[in-house]
Structure 1
Amino acid sequence: MRDLSNIGRVVIKVGTNVLASGDNIPRRIKTIAEGLADLRAKGLSPLLVSSGAIGFGAMALNLEGRPKKIEMRQACAALGQPILMEHWRRALEKHRIKAAQILLSRESFDDRRSYLNLRNVVENLLAIGAVPVLNENDSVSTTEIGDLFGDNDSLSAHVASKLDAGLLVLLTDTDAFYESDPKLNPNARPMSIVEQVTKEIKAAAGKSGSEHSSGGMITKLQAIEVAYRAGCKTILADGRRDDILRRIFEGEDVGTLFLAGPKMGAKARWILGARPKGNVSIDAGAFEALAKRKSLLPKGVTAVDGIFGIGDVILIDSFYQAQSSMASEEIRQIMGLHSKEVRALLGRGRRTEVARAEDIVALRGVDAG
């Protein structure tokens, strides 16, 4: 039996293939809603990331397959999102649970104020007993649909990471992660537990355009890595099974459990998940200081790329991400200077750190001491 105690908050991601497989979509949504109601009854706080808006819009327009042009996909998303939400609203209403729609953009996570507002909204919704239903705001996206987060696997991982979930459940149309591509190797065995996503695990994801492929399973592994770095477990399981959520949360050995990395604080998770607006290059002395978990000072900065402001997230030589304590133009003026020279130039009372130690997060593979 798996130990899923002390999970608290859980993010359930329902893939398009789960909703699209079979003829009775409302029934599939109904059974997942029953599972969400069971989670609430057990004292857990479920959040739902649901795909399907474009698919429902395409069906409303009697289109065959997924439209290729971005303009038509945006139109389908606009038409399909309220249909999708109505399905979830009706299904959850039967359990006296309110469904609350939240449409996300990258700014929801990149901008600190927007992120904190999102956290507050979600906390309030959970407190009143609602289930937040989250999706990417495809209909008004100015980039290629799906490019804001990559896909809803990535979106669900960012939601789990930023909103302090203990478990991410990816409901898809495959029953587990396999040691090798089962379409190429009929003797491939499912894996019950994966401690960490390694090169070998990525190689086992396969190369064909399927759930075990660069177009399917690999994107799920990337999402699982996001959750891992935030200290969040992930379970990959077959969402087409009517009783799958019950079996998962009763501790049955279904699907594949991906273990979590060390738990991070909320701000560190935000810094790690935000898109950097610039890059600061540093010398060997500064790199050594960061490895000892010290602040980044102007003396160690050798170059600044991009335009960013105070409080924006930046890369530090692609080894760290940090919330900058200074704007890019200010750093350019004082880089290479000692702290005493910085105070003389900027005036006393001004911060002399480019980034404070508590606002610097090592990226994966960096030895932070």
Structure 2
Amino acid sequence: MSVAAIAGQALPTWRRAVLKVGSNLLAADGGGLTTRYAEALAAFITASRAAGRQIVLVSSGAVAAGRSQLRAHAPSGSDLAARQALAALGQAPMIALWQSLSPRPVAQVLLTHDDVRNRRRYLNARATLRELLALDVLAVVNENDTVAVDELKLGDNDNLAAIVAALVDADLLLIASDIDALYSADPRQDSSAMPILRVDALTPDVLAMAGGSGSAVGTGGMHTKLEAAAKAAAAGIPTALFSGRNKDTVERLALDRLRGTWFAAGRSRMQARKYWLRHAPAAPGRVHVDAGAARALTSGRASLLPGGVLEVSGVFHRGDLVEIFDEAGRPIARGLSQYSQAEAKRLAGRHSRDIESLLGYSYGAEIVHRDDLATLADIESTGGIDA
């Protein structure tokens, strides 16, 4: 079945998305980087920005670019050291390709396993990406292959894109592929294979539809795309899979029309976030706030600022989950602290503008940002507080 024969469907409203573009679209013929398919994808990013939306790009292509730079001298093996060397060589031309297609500045963000597993480094990466979005910079994310080791690699960029989508609180994960949808079987081998336009749950039967890698230059196939969709769904983020090789399909995305497969999320992004904050183990630390801060926090629309903090107790570090109490000692919220217990004590009752002068540095104006906070009402709606 041709891509034109796949029925289009409306995309829900979204404000921020992560777009994953694979090597098979940037080095389509197995050689060096090309703008053949990247131009339409870059135009979609630009159109989305003009519509007031934000996109973080997860781009493959560094290894393929490095291999083409060396040509006949490129290592033929697939061992980790060779891929690391090729990735190091190819990062610059890969970023240069996207900069040549973008009317705004492009920034490179390289992530490792530790950056998303360690809470403090996770918050640092999150803060950096947030700031790049605020500065209207196109962030191009890739795994830092040059320092990764096999047992601690994030893996393919499909799964990395799902991790980044959760990291930046995206409303949508977009996966541009060399195939136009998920099919009931491999359409290259089975002429009766039919496109699946919507997947509400990634059951074993759905996973069985995935084959191996369809590209000589990529590390993933349909199976990794389904894994990514499952990770995104667990974070409350739906996924759209579409052909990045079809210009009309890409152009329709800017009109909120998907010609591909839609993977629904089991719950909303906010519900998933609050659920995690409700279940994650808290550090042995407490933050007590004044009446004004308690009212602001329980409204569900405010961050916890230093000025509202009365007392800090226990021991916790930057990135730890802490419990927040009102003046009467009643629990009102839980959230990820931007500052350690010692730092929060020094900042208690002070204005946010004084943070840098007091500490010599600043991780942000908030002790707990509203995106990293769940109120008691949020927690009760997801099942109550553990005893």
Judged with a 3 Å threshold, the aligned counterparts in structure 2 of structure 1 residues 88 and 253 are, in CA distance, closer, same or farther, namely closer
- 1:204 match: secondary structure: coil
Query: Offset of 1:33 from its aligned partner?
Result: 1.3
Q: Specify whether residues 232 and 59 from structure 1 end up closer, same or farther in structure 2 by C-alpha distance, changes over 3 A only.
A: same
Q: What is the aligned partner in structure 2 of residue 2 from structure 1?
A: 9
Look up the equivalent residue of 2:153 and give its one-letter code: L
Deviation at 1:210, TM superposition (A): 3.4
Change (3 A) 1:254 1:100: same
Distance 1:177 1:107, change over 3 A: same
Identify if the C-alpha distance between structure 1 residues 130 and 209 changes in structure 2 by more than 3 Å, giving closer, same or farther: closer
The amino acid of 2:21's aligned partner reads V
Matching of residues 168-179 of structure 1 within 5 Å: 168-179=173-184
Residue matched to 1:86: 96
CA distance in 2, matches of 1:153, 1:251: 22
Distance 1:215 1:131 in 2: 24
**What pairs with 1:345-356 in structure 2 (closer than 5 Å)?**
none
Q: Distance in 2 between matches of 1:103 and 1:269?
A: 29
CA distance in 2, matches of 1:269, 1:255: 30
Question: Is the contact made by 1:58 and 1:67 (CA closer than 8 Å) also made in structure 2?
Answer: no
CA offset at residue 165 of structure 1?
Answer: 0.7
> What are the Cα deviations for residues 92-130 of structure 1, in whole angstroms up to 9, with x where unaligned?
1xx2x1111100011221111211222221121111211
**Separation in 1, partners of 2:277, 2:156:** 20
Shift of 1:162: 2.1
Where in structure 1 do 4 or more consecutive aligned residues deviate above 6 Å?
A: 269-272, 309-313
TM-aligned CA distance change 1:183 to 1:29, over 3 Å: closer
Alpha carbons of structure 1 residues 6 and 243: separation in structure 2 relative to 1, 3 Å: same
Decide whether aligned partners of structure 1 residues 108 and 134 sit closer, same or farther in structure 2, where only a CA change above 3 A counts: same
Give the TM-score of the pair, scaled to structure 2: 0.64
1:29 lines up with 2:38 in the alignment = yes
Is this contact kept in 2: 1:19–1:52, CA < 8 A? yes
Post-superposition offset of 1:257: 1.0
Matches of 2:122 and 2:248, distance apart in 1: 34
Give 1:40's aligned amino acid: R
Q: Equivalent residue of 2:236, what SS?
A: coil
C-alpha contact 1:57 1:79 (8 A) present in aligned 2: yes
| Aligned residue among 53, 61, 65 for 2:62 | 53
Secondary structure at 1:138 match in 2: coil
Q: Residues 270 and 68 of structure 1: is their aligned pair in 2 closer, same or farther, counting only changes over 3 Å?
A: farther
**How many angstroms apart in 1 are the aligned matches of 2:85 and 2:249?**
33
Residue 189 of structure 1 aligns with an amino acid whose one-letter code is: M
Q: Distance in 1 between matches of 2:213 and 2:57?
A: 26
Give the Cα–Cα distance (whole angstroms) in 2 for the partners of residues 256 and 138 of structure 1.
30
Looking at structure 2, the residues matched to 165 and 114 of structure 1 have their Cα atoms a distance apart, in angstroms, of 19
Corresponding residue of 1:108? 115
Shift of residue 31, structure 1, vs aligned partner: 2.5
Partner of 1:44: 53
- Contact residue 230 and residue 269 of structure 1 kept, 8 A: no
Instruction: Tell me which amino acid in the other structure corresponds to 2:101.
Output: A
CA contact (8 A) 1:57 1:77 kept: yes
Q: Secondary structure at the match of 2:259?
A: coil
The CA RMSD measured in Å over matched residues stands at 3.2
Aligned to 1:120: 127
Q: Specify the code of the residue in structure 1 equivalent to 2:178.
A: D
Match of 2:214 among 210, 216, 221: 210
Alpha-carbon deviation of 1:195? 1.1
Aligned residues: 277
Q: Find the aligned partners of 1:175 and 1:200 in 2 and give their Cα distance.
A: 20
CA distance in structure 1 between the partners assigned to 2:132 and 2:189 by the alignment? 45
Q: Of 73, 83, 99, which aligns to 1:73?
A: 83
Q: Percent identity?
A: 37
Give the aligned partner of residue 11 of structure 1. Answer: 18
| Deviations 1:166-224 (CA, angstroms, capped at 9, x unpaired) | 11111111111001222332111111111111111011224x5537xx95111111110
Does the 8 Å contact 1:55/1:66 carry over to 2? no
After TM superposition, the structure 1 = structure 2 runs for residues 1-369 of structure 1, keeping only pairs within 5 Å, are: 2-22=9-29, 25-63=34-72, 67-92=77-102, 95=103, 97-141=104-148, 143-144=149-150, 148-206=153-211, 208-210=212-214, 216-265=221-270
1:9–1:165 contact (8 Å) kept in structure 2: yes
